[in-house]
Amino acid sequence: MQNFTTLIVEHDEPAGKVVASTLIDELNLTAIHQSVSGNSALEFLAHSGPIDCILSEIDLPDIQCFDFVNKAKEFESAKGCSVVLMSSRTDRETIITAAAAGADDFLVKPFSAGALVVKFKKLLAGDYHRASERIPVLDACQVHLQFVCGAEYDANLLDISKGGCMVESTAFDHGGGVLEQATLVIPAQNEPLIVKAELVRSERSAPSNKKVRTMKSAFQFVEMNDKTLVQIEKFIETLNKPLF
């Protein structure tokens, strides 16, 4: 028996039971819990002990996946846990949604027992690329955004991971242009970090007495190569430097 607590969130209860049985039979995992909706899963997390992995479908019946994952990770029980999302859709928008929601991996439905076991063996071995782990940027760091439509903005870098980043800027006013793809220029020690990204979510600030409204925007890195990944890793290392 392996001590690896898993929460399965699947609206199709019989399908969830098949997944649970596979993990029990093939990997001897017994600390498995099931929820049929996002809200019931959140209620469970509010009172549960530490969770090692959340395996959830993207198309939840009662809550947006992005909101579910973010709310789940606010609980002490789910901080630091891995997230694997499932969907029968494999289009570009779905993949971006999964990454933006903080997924560590993605399973395409219907999947075989073998595919499920391979994913969980990686989790159990600790051999996992935690692309979604965001590192806060405490020192001021300005990013230049160059959108494909021609619009350009400067923004403050709030956090960054190997898979994307969050920035804060004045509200975008693109005059009808489509703000989806952009090139981000991030200052680094030796040379600027230049990476292509997709805009996956933006939230405008609440109205205030200030004349200029700001917005927070989440970007997912795309078209990554080995050199860019190494640059991002080195940049993150500078943020993780010891205090003393």
Fold for domain 135-239?
Thrombin, subunit H (2.40.10)
Token code pair at residue 154: 């400067």
Per-residue pLDDT of the chain (244 residues; tens, 9 = 90+): 567 899 999 999 999 999 999 999 998 888 899 999 999 999 999 999 999 999 999 889 999 887 898 889 889 999 888 888 898 887 766 776 677 677 777 888 888 888 888 888 878 876 444 445 667 787 788 999 998 888 888 999 988 877 788 898 887 665 444 557 889 999 887 788 999 888 877 777 655 555 667 888 888 887 777 788 888 888 887 776 554 3
- Largest interatomic CA distance in the chain: 61
Q: How many CB atoms within 10 Å of residue 156?
A: 15
Instruction: Delimit the domains of the chain by residue range.
Output: 6-125, 135-239
Is 141 exposed, middle or buried, given 0-12, 13-18 or 19+ CB atoms closer than 10 A?
middle
Question: Which of 75, 135, 66 has its CA nearest to residue 103?
Answer: 66
Closest by CA to 217, choosing from 204, 205, 201, is 201
- Do residues 70 and 102 touch, judged by C-beta distance below 8 A? yes
Q: Which residues of 61-95 are buried (b: 16+ CB within 10 A; e: fewer)?
A: eeeebbebbebbbebebbeebbbbbbbeeeeeebb
Any idea what the Cα angle at residue 152 is, between residues 148 and 155, rounded to 5°? Answer: 120
CATH class of 6-125: alpha beta
- CA-CA-CA-CA dihedral for 240, 241, 243, 244, to nearest 10: 150
Dihedral sign of CA atoms 76, 82, 185, 234 in order: positive
> Could you identify the residue written with the tokens 């004349």?
211
Buried-exposed string 5-43: b where 16+ CB fall within 10 A, e elsewhere: bbbbbbeeeeebeebbebbeeebebebbbbbbbbeebbe
- Beta strand 6-9 with 82-87 is unpaired
pLDDT at 179: 59
Report the 10 Å Cβ neighbour count for 96.
18
Please give the angle made by the CA atoms of 28, 29 and 30, to the nearest 5 degrees: 110
